[in-house]
């Protein structure tokens, strides 16, 4: 089962306001029927009539290698006999559609998630499963595969807060000072066989747990991918970088994905040419349902790219394959996109290659990828549109970014923290959202003429400079008249000479050097 399937199901349930139910099968492995002969030793305490006798298993038992496969086969055949169809693109998904009634089951070993818009069919399948297996109805979906699911009026959130706190506790960093940034953009990790960690198992275990944590935290995908390249021979610098990620997670352990009520499908594609230590490039892409992030990936490309355009186009080919799989998955749920999904790219070269089927010198290594992207684009699977580098969200998945750029792009991923008030300083994604709202509010009109506070400050500054320029010749004229004994305002000038001198000094020296406060 792919984790993307769970995110897509939750996004669809949020859009259509479908109920989510959770079931648990008691002693699931004991229900499997064995299709081959399996023998075992006589358990202790059981007497036999003859020596050297053994037992032939008729049912699967725990610790048997075939137990999972036999249980899944029996459950699959049972659901198919009840009218459900197994999705060809994710075999853990079973769907039943009768006119407008839709019901689906997601199966992971002995955990079952039930979703649909037909309460009668959901009640029927619950009763049918309970009559054949020992089923425990856990009610609305709240905790599944270590994911915490929360329901609200604005959507469904998915997080791993408990998993994060357990990870911090096991690493001894629960009381450490949180960090607001991830890996330094100037840091380049490399292989070094002279300063190896004495206990590499702790590093591998920590990185493995971080990889599982990326299923709900896309902001640490790039850093985790970089650290996973040194699993064989880690050094102290790699371990320190992994612990720095934990300090970053300490800042907002409850940050989660929010699946809102909007539905347009669009994606982003990008790559970092020769971004790995072995000069191979990094592919990064993500897909949204409106503002809901449902799929993303950070992966090292399997081959070395000769040019940056080649790396960009290989990333676009991978993005196209993921979009095709998502389209098949949505079609299984009878969800049809009215408009072709949009893929945003920040490279003009890949847009030109996709639009031009004639291969040039820089694209002779991309024949298969070019045929794939061009064909899917001509058939209307997606539309390719350009986007600026600063608005390319997938930069988070392909490279280490400066703190300001990272926080700006992170606010566009749709991550929220429902466990922390938005008014708290350093509150993770909520703090990012509040800063974005404050910045937006700064540019909103404040009066009926549509003049913003920024424009008012600019006007005040320019008016001050203007009057200073006008007033300076007047001061010089009065001074010249006094020298020539031809000024009727001599007494007035002598009374206010300190004020004139101060304003004269202000206009000549201080005002041109004063910074514009905006």
pLDDT digits (tens, 9 = 90+) for 399-433: 989 888 998 999 888 888 877 765 433 444 444 34
pLDDT at 238: 93
Through-space distance between the first and last CA atoms of the chain, rounded to whole angstroms = 52
What is each CA distance from 443 to 93, 325, 453, 477, in whole angstroms? 47, 41, 8, 43
Mean pLDDT (whole number) for 469-496: 55
Report whether pLDDT(162) > 70. yes
Report whether pLDDT(436) > 50. no
Report whether pLDDT(210) > 50. yes
What is each CA distance from 18 to 101, 140, 264, 456, in whole angstroms? 11, 11, 18, 50
In 160-310, beta strands by DSSP E: 255-259, 265-272, 282-289, 292-300
Give backbone dihedrals phi and psi of 158, rounded to 5 degrees, phi first: -130, 125
Interval 353-377: pLDDT, tens: 888 766 555 566 676 766 788 888 8
pLDDT at 267: 94
362 close to 309: Cβ distance less than 8 angstroms: yes
Q: Categorize the per-residue pLDDT at 466 as very low, low, confident or very high, splitting at 50, 70 and 90.
A: low
Q: What is the mean pLDDT of the chain?
A: 81
More confident residue, 255 or 356: 255
pLDDT at 348: 87
Mean pLDDT (whole number) for 240-247: 94
- Burial (CB < 10 A; 0-12, 13-18, 19+), residue 150, is middle
Mean pLDDT (whole number) for 389-401: 91
Interval 297-355: pLDDT, tens: 999 998 888 888 888 988 999 999 999 999 988 888 777 777 889 999 998 888 888 88
pLDDT at 186: 79
Q: What DSSP element (H or E) covers 114?
A: strand 111-116
232: left (phi over 0), alpha (psi -120 to 50) or beta: alpha
Name residues whose C-beta falls within 8 Å of residue 158's C-beta, 6 or more positions apart in sequence.
7, 10, 147, 148, 149, 216, 256, 257, 259
**The most confident of 183-192, 276-285, 387-396, by mean pLDDT:** 387-396
Residue 489 CA neighbour count, 13 Å, CB half:
11
What is each CA distance from 172 to 204, 228, 294, in whole angstroms? 17, 21, 32
More confident residue, 158 or 421: 158
Burial readout 315-338 (b: 16 or more C-beta within 10 A, e: otherwise):
bbbbbbebbebbbebbebbebeee
pLDDT at 296: 94
Q: Categorize the per-residue pLDDT at 2 as very low, low, confident or very high, splitting at 50, 70 and 90.
A: confident
């Amino acid at each position: 089962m792919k984790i993307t399937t769970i995110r897509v199901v939750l996004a669809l349930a949020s859009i259509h306001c479908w109920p989510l139910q959770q079931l648990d099968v008691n002693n699931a492995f004991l229900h499997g029927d064995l299709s081959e002969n399996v023998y075992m030793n006589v358990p202790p305490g059981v007497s036999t009539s003859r020596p050297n006798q053994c037992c032939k298993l008729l049912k699967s038992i725990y610790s048997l290698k075939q137990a999972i496969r036999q249980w899944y086969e029996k459950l699959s055949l049972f659901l198919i006999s009840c009218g459900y169809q197994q999705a060809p693109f994710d075999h853990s998904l079973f769907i039943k559609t009768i006119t407008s009634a839709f019901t689906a089951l997601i199966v992971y070993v002995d955990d079952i998630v039930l979703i649909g818009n037909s309460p009668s069919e959901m009640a029927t399948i619950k009763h049918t499963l309970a009559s054949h297996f020992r089923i425990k109805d856990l009610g609305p979906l709240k905790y599944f595969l270590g994911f915490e699911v929360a329901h609200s009026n604005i959507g469904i959130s998915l997080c791993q807060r408990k998993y994060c706190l357990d990870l911090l506790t096991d690493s001894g960093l629960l009381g450490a000072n949180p960090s607001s940034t991830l890996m330094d953009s100037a840091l380049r990790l490399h292989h070094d066989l002279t300063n190896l960690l004495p206990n590499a198992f702790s590093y591998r275990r920590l990185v493995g747990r971080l990889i599982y944590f990326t299923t709900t935290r896309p902001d640490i995908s790039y850093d985790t991918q970089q650290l996973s390249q040194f699993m064989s021979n880690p050094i102290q610098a790699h371990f320190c970088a992994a612990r720095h990620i934990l300090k970053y997670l300490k800042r907002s352990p409850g940050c989660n994905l929010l699946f809102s009520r909007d539905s347009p499908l669009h994606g982003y594609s990008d790559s970092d040419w020769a971004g790995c230590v072995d000069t191979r490039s990094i592919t990064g892409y993500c897909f949204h349902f409106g503002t809901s992030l449902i799929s993303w990936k950070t992966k090292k490309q399997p081959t070395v790219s000769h040019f940056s355009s080649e790396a960009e186009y290989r990333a676009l080919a991978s993005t196209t394959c993921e979009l095709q799989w998502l389209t098949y998955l949505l079609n299984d749920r009878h969800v049809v996109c009215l408009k072709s999904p949009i893929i945003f790219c920040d490279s003009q070269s890949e847009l030109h290659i996709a639009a031009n089927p004639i291969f040039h010198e820089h694209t002779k290594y991309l024949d298969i990828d070019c045929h794939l992207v061009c064909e899917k684009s001509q058939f209307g699977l997606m539309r390719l549109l350009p986007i600026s580098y600063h608005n390319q969200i997938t930069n988070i998945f392909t490279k280490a970014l400066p703190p300001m750029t990272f926080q700006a792009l992170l606010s566009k991923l749709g991550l929220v923290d429902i466990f922390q008030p938005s008014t708290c300083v350093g509150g993770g994604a909520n703090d990012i959202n509040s800063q974005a709202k404050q910045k937006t509010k700064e540019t909103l009109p404040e009066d009926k003429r549509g003049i913003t506070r920024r424009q008012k400050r600019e006007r005040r500054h320019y008016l001050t400079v203007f009057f200073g320029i006008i007033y300076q010749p007047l001061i010089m004229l009065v001074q010249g008249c006094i020298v020539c004994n031809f000024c009727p305002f001599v007494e007035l000038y002598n009374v206010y000479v300190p004020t004139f001198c101060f304003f004269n000094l202000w206009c000549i020296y201080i005002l041109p050097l004063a910074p514009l406060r905006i």
